[in-house]
Structure 1
Amino acid sequence: MAALGHTFPFYAGPKPTFPMDTTLVVIITIFLTALVTFIIILPGIRGKTRLFWLLRVVTSLFIGAVILAVNFSSKWSVGQVSANTTYKAFSPERISADVGLQIGLGGVNITLTGTPVQQLNETINYNEEFLWHLSKDYAEEYMSALQRGLPDPVLYLAEKLGPNSPCGLHDQYRLAGHYASAMLWVAFLCWLLANVMLSMPVLLYGGHMLLATGIFQLLALFFFSMVTSLTSHCSLRLGAVELHTQHGPAFWTTLATGLLCLLLGLLMAVAHRMQPHRLKAFFNQSLEDPTLEWSAEEGELLTPRYRPMSCSPEPGDIPLSRASSETCSREEHP
């Protein structure tokens, strides 16, 4: 290949990229399937409860889908810049491209798209992911990227976010992602408990679990913001420009959903205190609560009274004598 004029390293063609994260596609598909299923059985519900039921289902599925989606999203901290930078190692040739950096709770995603895409007789369209959560080894994935000969901008940003970089970004983002992900999983469990309790006659506790769902989402934002704010400034220069990052769509979506859960939980607590009957009607529960009627001897110990079988009201096969009948009548009606 060197005899044919190729320049080291020998780049393989860019792999085909799916336009969206497959994990997010699976999550969205599951919740949309559940929504369609509920809509199909919607005509079987009569009256105003149909609208209330649809509103509850849509809101609940939206909250659950957001909690799961942002946990696997790579857009908690994003940055993009248009730069004129080198493309290959050991080559002075430069390209014009859009370089994107997306940092999630479990790793980082780096994109490189040429403007135009066809430059230097190649298709410049890369989307590479480097993970650090669970059993993933970031250093090993970076070495694999070196062996595959990825473009210079991708390797440069991956090295800056590596564990051996003097910037220290790797440890900070990994710690922030660990705690934020843990809070989101707890929020998801609270959401499940809220759905169970709201389907039972314990609406107040369901509202409390909604409050807990919102609180744990806000705690996830707090941990991510606090840890990432402690990172020292590290310059990410691509050619003559510098790449800056800011909070991404996943961060702001989590904030909006957390505030929504807090608002719904507070409204349920207030409605349970001020208008409990309307709250029960909204959740399609019976408005008539069974009441217990106590006798005048409430709280006293009941003393069992026995009577002979001859005094039983059931008709017997053997007729009773007149004296026995009068004895039973006196015992039953003193």
Structure 2
Amino acid sequence: MTLWNGVLPFYPQPQRAAGFSVPLLIVIVVFCALAGSFLLILPGIRGHSRWFWLARVLLSLFIGGEIVAVHFSGEWFVGSVWTNTSYKAFSAEHVQARVGLSVGLVGINITLKGTPVQQLNETIDYNEQFTWRLNEDYHREYVRALQKGLPDPVLYLAEKFTPSSPCGLYHQYHLAGHYAAATLWVAFCFWVLANALLSMPAPLYGGLALLVTGAFALFAVFSFASVSSVPLCPFRLGSAALTPGYGAAFWITLATGILCLLLGAAVVLLHYAWPSSLRAVLDQSAPDCCGLATAGSPVILSNPLHPQFAPPDFKITTKL
């Protein structure tokens, strides 16, 4: 308790305000740059196909960007509450603050912001990340937080997710996040395959790849939702209780999975019912070259010596 010259163990360095996830920001910037590059070349596409290309490319970039971005988002299971809670360990002083909890696929994020920010001659504005990736130790990060002397509400919520906690939240959310992340990467691979197939004269297989993409995105949602069967420990923070619920990343992933299923089903339906309309949407011409013809289309002979193509005064004679 006397490590910092008799002051309770607390941040010795200047406090920094809550920041933004750098990997998430990189993903958003990359996909926005791709979308911006396409919008620059969009005026060069002539006719009505310009709008088909616009809808197709922007929808595809949205699906791919969302699948990658939710890996680095902590908005899968979120909650926040305004409360009057204790601030430091072994102290009876209380502060008015907003406490937030965000659970992602690779860890949790805990925020504490005072209202007002300046209380007890200190700046109350904390944003702490605790991860459980395969190469990182959550318990070690929690011990490091104890050594820093983080505020009481932050340590209280972080302790609930430790492996030794009787709540059992660590193992459930760790496994659920691990399997959800794995299925999302599989969905991303099928998204790349679907884009490649839809750019070739194979729209049926592109539609099937979109269906698989949506199926794996929904598998990720159901994998993370499987922890709902685990009784959630009550989070009592001073005079209020924190009750988390599914966040934006969860619902956006669910909507993306349903969107992929609808788009894939539409491509498959158009392939069998209106193939010409599907080729017009994908800006593809009919495969009538090299002797190929679509099913049900008439076969046209291209031999110039055939009587159908001979001029009126042209006679074909055979010499025996």
- Give 1:33-112 correspondences, 5 Å limit: 33-112=33-112
Contact 2:79/2:242 (<8 A) preserved: yes
Give the distance between the partners of 1:27 and 1:199, measured in 2 at CA: 24
Letter in 2 for 1:73: S
Deviation (angstroms), 1:89: 1.1
Kindly tell me: are residues 10 and 61 of structure 1, through their superposed partners in 2, closer, same or farther at Cα, counting changes over 3 Å?
closer
Following the alignment from structure 1 to structure 2, what is the Cα–Cα distance between the partners of residues 15 and 268?
A: 53
Q: Equivalent residue for 2:214?
A: 214
| Whole-angstrom distance in 2 between the partners of 1:60 and 1:208 | 15
Query: The residue matched to 1:41 in structure 2 has which SS?
Result: helix
> Which whole-Å CA distance do the structure 2 matches of 1:9 and 1:19 have between them?
23
Match of 1:8 in 2: 8
- 1:46 is displaced (CA, Å) by 0.9
How far, CA to CA, are the matches of 1:14 and 1:251 in structure 2?
Answer: 35
Cα distance in 2 for partners of 1:10, 1:290 equals 75
Quick check: 1:73–1:250 contact (8 Å CA) kept in 2? Answer: yes
Superposition RMSD on alpha carbons, in Å?
2.1
Alignment of 1:169-318 (within 5 A): 169-226=169-226, 228-287=227-286, 289-290=288-289, 292=291
Gaps of 5+ in 1: 294-331
Determine the C-alpha separation between the residues in 1 that align with 2:178 and 2:10: 37
**2: CA distance, partners of 1:10 / 1:113:** 16
1:130 paired residue number? 130
* 1:49–1:284 CA contact under 8 A, matched in 2: yes
TM-score, normalization by structure 2: 0.88
Aligned residues: 296
Where does residue 302 of structure 2 map in the other structure? none
State the percentage of identical aligned residues. Answer: 54
**TM-score, normalised relative to structure 1:** 0.84
| Equivalent residues of 2:19, 2:127 under 8 A apart | no
CA distance in 2, matches of 1:80, 1:113: 11
Q: Is the 8 A contact 1:14 1:124 kept in 2?
A: no
CA offset at residue 252 of structure 1? 0.3
Structure 2: gaps (5+ residues): 293-317
